[in-house]
Structure formats: structure tokens, C-alpha cells
Amino acid sequence: MTITDKNSSRERPDRGIRGVTILGSTGSIGINTLDVLARHSGKYRIVALTANTQVDRLFEQCRRFLPLKAVMLDPRAAAQLKEKVQQAGLDIDVLSGVDGLNAVATHTQAHIVVAAIVGAAGLLPTLTAVRAGKRVLLANKEPLVMSGHVFIEEAQRCGAELLPVDSEHNAIFQCMPDGFRAGNPAAAVRRIFLTCSGGPFRAATPESLAAVTPEQACAHPNWVMGRKISVDSATLMNKGLELIEAGWLFGVTPDQVEIVIHPQSVIHSLVEYVDGSVLAQLGNPDMRTPIAHALAWPDRIESGVKSLNLLEVARLDFSPPDMERFPCLRLAYEAARGGGTMPAILNAANEVAVQAFLDRRIGFTDIPRVIEHTLSSLPASRDVQLDAVLSSDLRARDVASSFIAAREPRVGQGVS
């Protein structure tokens, strides 16, 4: 049996095949998701692919996977993609802007929405998918970091499923009791251990970090990721954002989350229960494992990831993080405990600071200085509704940008 998309003259497969929209298909999560989906063409159908400005990469994905729709956030990029699609004779509807993202996030044939847009830009289309009652695979932390209260409340109201794709949160999810749903505190859970590779500067002296370049910061020892998240991993802000996200996903306080440096990235996280049992999820450091788990949950599907060889790994090391070497982690704990709009302010300041570092406008050790200045300059509101969160986000970006611009260093100097 076939069904016809009301937005297209093309016939589509039987409704037993699950439709997937990928918000941010040209990034590392999107590419890995497509790799998993390609192994299961009889189970999944690509409904829509989206990107910001990477026209050529999205066009190649369109040629291979033939989605119903493609969206470029940037209107000029959308015009270029539309021309390429027409010249290639592809029957794909090209949309643009936030309206285009919202349209594909709520498409009737999209059962699953992979939320992989980097940064705060992913908040609104992800929330749109939640409100449409989709299964939402959360690959970006910012929606829950900025507005966890709204997301959890809306997911419960609309019947959406929130499944984490971050390797650490997916590991925690896999270690939770049967029947657990995101946003509901799990009975009998005492602590959560978030593991962390420590990034490329795990053993670096604090003095040496001032000279770190963007290329060095983006050279993660275990994972292949985008530039922004790679820098976050190097400062350990990525782990700080995960701390905040874990609180919303698993109903725990910041003091119930312990961050542990584990350089091998084999144990992806652990859950301790009140009886003393500690459950862990292990696997090779490959994002296709959590992606495949979330796509098929509660079933399991082949991901393409090779089997873990514990004899080859040989040893597993653990140590506490150094808060002096990585002040971003300290700031994240403070924001998590402060609550309200403080996490949104933290996230916005970090995004501005990381981009300035990647643009070589500030140094690596200036990133936490920008964040701390912004947090101290803006009092956090207890109002966690979406308007208040978005307002705090904008104000924090202004404060952080002004702080950087006012102290714009000459080459070789940092922000003081």
C-alpha cells in the first residue's frame, strides 16, 4: 500500500516506515544520522533535511536521500539550493528561514525529528517539534539548557518523546529503569556520573592555555565534532551544559551529578542507585551508537559501529576535573544551582565568546572571563517562561559582545 503526501504528487511508502526530519543535517550529528538511516532504508524515510549555509553539502544529501523538503536557514543559500535542485531535476520543495524549519519540524509524515542545530538557533524549531508531539532526538543541549522548564512541560502536555542523543545522556537514559520517560525523576536513583574525556588540554598546565589556538582547541582526541562543540569540550563548558541538561532530563539536582574525567571515552556515563548498584553503558566512541538507540527505541538496530574490544582498551582511568584549569565548569555549576534565566545567560555568553575565539579576536583563556563578566552584569530572573529566556539570551549576547569589543586586543594580547 502507498500513501500520497498532500504536499506532493509523489507516492510515498507504507505508513509502517517512519519518516525522519533532520534539523541540521550537514553537521556531524546529521551526517552520522544519515549513515545509520542508510543502513535501514526499509524502516525509515527522509522527510526533510535542513542546513544554515552549506549549500553544496545539503545538495549532495538531497541527491542521495531524495527528501520531500529541504530547508536553508539563510535565504540566499536557499535560492542557490533551489536552483541546483531544479537543474538536477529533483522533485524536492526548497524552503527557507525559521518558517521553513518549523514547517518541516511539524510535517505530518515526520514521526521523528532529529534536533541537531548548533546553539540557541535550534531552540524554537525544536520546541515546535515538541509541541507537534513528535519523537524528538535531542542532539543539541541548548534548548534544555536555556529553557528546560518549558520543554519538559510542553513535552508532557503534547505527548512528545524526548530522547537524548548526546552520548553521555543517552548512556544515562539506557541505565534508567524500565518505563522511564525524560523529565520524570527516576525512583531510587542516588547519583549520576557524567564522564568526560578531558579534551585536548586535560594534562596542560594552566599557564600554557593562554597560547592555545583554535586549531589546537578543535583537535579533540576521541571525537570528531563541529568547531563550536570542540571548543566547548576543550574548555569543559560542554560538560557544564550537559550537567544542566541532565538535571532537566533526569529530574536530578546539580549536586546529584558528578563529573568524572575518563580519557578513554569507553564508559559514556553511569547511574548509581540507592542500593549501591552502579550501572554503566560502554561502547566505542562513535555517535552512531546513541543515534541508532534513539531512532529505534525501545528496539535496537545495527549502527555500523564496531564491537568494543575490552582487551584492546586494557585500562579505564578516572579522575576529578580541575576547576582551576577549567573555570567554565565552575561557572556552569553556579548557573545550574542559580537556576531561572542564569543558564540561558551562561549559554549566550559562551556562544559569543567561543565565536570570538574561533575568529581570533580573543584568547582561549578569555572565554571564561567573558562568561563571568556577563553573568555578573546581568541579574538572573526567576521567570523561566520562553519570552523571559529569549530576552535574557539577547541581553547576554549584547553584554558579552560589548565586553569583547571594548577590550578588543591587539595581536598577541588577550581580554583583561
Lowest mean pLDDT among 12-21, 198-207, 324-333: 12-21
- pLDDT score of 5: 37
- Per-residue pLDDT reduced to its tens digit, 33-51: 999 999 999 999 999 999 9
Three-class SS of residue 340?
coil
Domain-wise residue ranges, the chain: 3-165, 183-285+309-331, 339-416
- pLDDT score of 316: 95
pLDDT at 108 over 90: yes
- Per-residue pLDDT reduced to its tens digit, 54-72: 999 999 999 999 999 999 9
pLDDT at 408 over 80: no
Across residues 120-136, what is the average pLDDT? 93
- pTM listed for this prediction: 0.89
pLDDT at 416 over 80: no
- Per-residue pLDDT reduced to its tens digit, 236-249: 999 999 999 999 99
Question: 339-416: what fold?
Answer: Rna Polymerase Sigma Factor; Chain: A (1.10.1740)
Lowest mean pLDDT among 60-74, 206-220, 392-406: 206-220
What are the Cα distances from residue 100, in Å, to 79, 240, 366?
A: 13, 31, 36
- Per-residue pLDDT reduced to its tens digit, 281-318: 999 999 999 999 999 999 999 999 999 999 999 999 99
pLDDT at 397 over 70: yes
How many other β-carbons are positioned within 10 Å of the β-carbon of residue 18? 18
- pLDDT score of 11: 39
Q: 199 falls in which pLDDT band (50, 70, 90)? A: confident
Contacts of 36 (CB under 8 A, 6+ apart): 288, 291, 292, 295, 301, 303, 304
pLDDT at 28 over 70: yes
Q: 264 falls in which pLDDT band (50, 70, 90)? A: very high
Per CATH, the architecture of 3-165 is what?
Answer: 3-Layer(aba) Sandwich (3.40)
- pLDDT score of 55: 97
What are the Cα distances from residue 38, in Å, to 46, 60, 64, 221?
A: 10, 14, 10, 27
pLDDT at 224 over 80: no
Q: 404 falls in which pLDDT band (50, 70, 90)? A: very high
- pLDDT score of 4: 32
Distance in angstroms (rounded) separating the CA atoms of residues 237 and 242: 8
Q: List, edge to edge, every strand of the sheet that includes 135-138.
A: 93-96, 69-72, 44-51, 18-23, 112-115, 135-138, 161-164
Across residues 151-159, what is the average pLDDT? 95
- CA torsion through residues 123, 129, 133, 139, sign: negative
Cβ contact 249:237 at 8 Å: no
Q: 9 falls in which pLDDT band (50, 70, 90)? A: very low
- pLDDT score of 414: 52
- pLDDT score of 222: 67
Across residues 73-88, what is the average pLDDT? 97
